C-alpha cells in the first residue's frame, strides 16, 4: 500500500495579508484550496490514507476544513510540527504513520496539472526506494534545481532561495 503525505506547514509570510487568518495552503485557486488539489491528485492515484503535517497558529483551520477526510474519500491523520524545520524533518515525523510502506509527498502549496497515477503505479511496482517528479520551468532558480546525470539519476537538488 502506498500512503500520502501533504506538508501543510509554513507561515506564508510572502502572501500576507492573505495568510493572517488561514494557512497559505487553504487559499483558494479557482475556488478550491491549494492543498485540496494535492488530496485530489493522491485519490486519483488510488492513495486514500494521507498524513497532513500541520503547525502554527492557523493549523486548526486545516482540521476544520478536512476533518477526518471522509468527505474527500480519504482517511486523514494529522501530525503536528512544532515549528518549520524543513521538508526532511516533516517527513521524519511521519515514521510511525508510514511504517514500511512506500509513500508520496506533496508540498501543500503545489498544484500539479498532470495526473500522477502512472508514476505512482510504476513506483509501487518497482524496487525503487525513492522517486521524484520534476518539470522544466523557465526560471528554475525560483523553484529549485535538480542536477541530473545523463542516465537520469539525480545527483543533487538545490532548493530555491528565499525571495
Same domain? For 13 and 24 the reply is yes
List strands edge to edge, sheet with 75-80.
75-80, 49-54, 2-7, 102-107
Same domain? For 20 and 60 the reply is yes
Cα maximum dimension of the chain: 46
22-78, pLDDT tens digit by residue? 677 887 889 999 899 999 999 999 999 999 999 877 888 899 999 999 999 999 999
Are β-strands 75-80 and 28-29 bridged in parallel, bridged antiparallel, or unpaired?
unpaired
pTM of the predicted model as reported, rounded to 2 decimal places: 0.85
Residue 20 CA: distances (Å) to CA of 2, 8, 13, 78, 160: 34, 15, 9, 22, 24
Peptide linkage before 17 cis (omega within 30 of 0) = yes
Total of domains in the chain: 2
Domain of 8: which CATH number? 3.90.550.10
Same domain? For 23 and 38 the reply is yes
123-158, pLDDT tens digit by residue? 899 888 877 888 778 877 777 788 888 887 888 877
Cell of 124: 509501487
Q: Domain range spanning residue 138?
A: 134-163
Amino acid at each position: 500500500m502506498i500512503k500520502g503525505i501533504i506538508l501543510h506547514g509554513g507561515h506564508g509570510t510572502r502572501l500576507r495579508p492573505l495568510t493572517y487568518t488561514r494557512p497559505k495552503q487553504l487559499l483558494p485557486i479557482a475556488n478550491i484550496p491549494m492543498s485540496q488539489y494535492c488530496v485530489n491528485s493522491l485519490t486519483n492515484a488510488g492513495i486514500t490514507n494521507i498524513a497532513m503535517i500541520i503547525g502554527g497558529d492557523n493549523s486548526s483551520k486545516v482540521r476544520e476544513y478536512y476533518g477526518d477526510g471522509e468527505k474527500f474519500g480519504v482517511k486523514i491523520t494529522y501530525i503536528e510540527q512544532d515549528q518549520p524545520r524543513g521538508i526532511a524533518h516533516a517527513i521524519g515525523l511521519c515514521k510511525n504513520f508510514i511504517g514500511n510502506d512506500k509513500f508520496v509527498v506533496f508540498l501543500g502549496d503545489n498544484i500539479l496539472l498532470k495526473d500522477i497515477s502512472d508514476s505512482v503505479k510504476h513506483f509501487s511496482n518497482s524496487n525503487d526506494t525513492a522517486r521524484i517528479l520534476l518539470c522544466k520551468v523557465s526560471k528554475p532558480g525560483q523553484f529549485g534545481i535538480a542536477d541530473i546525470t545523463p542516465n537520469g539519476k539525480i545527483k543533487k537538488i538545490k532548493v530555491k532561495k528565499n525571495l
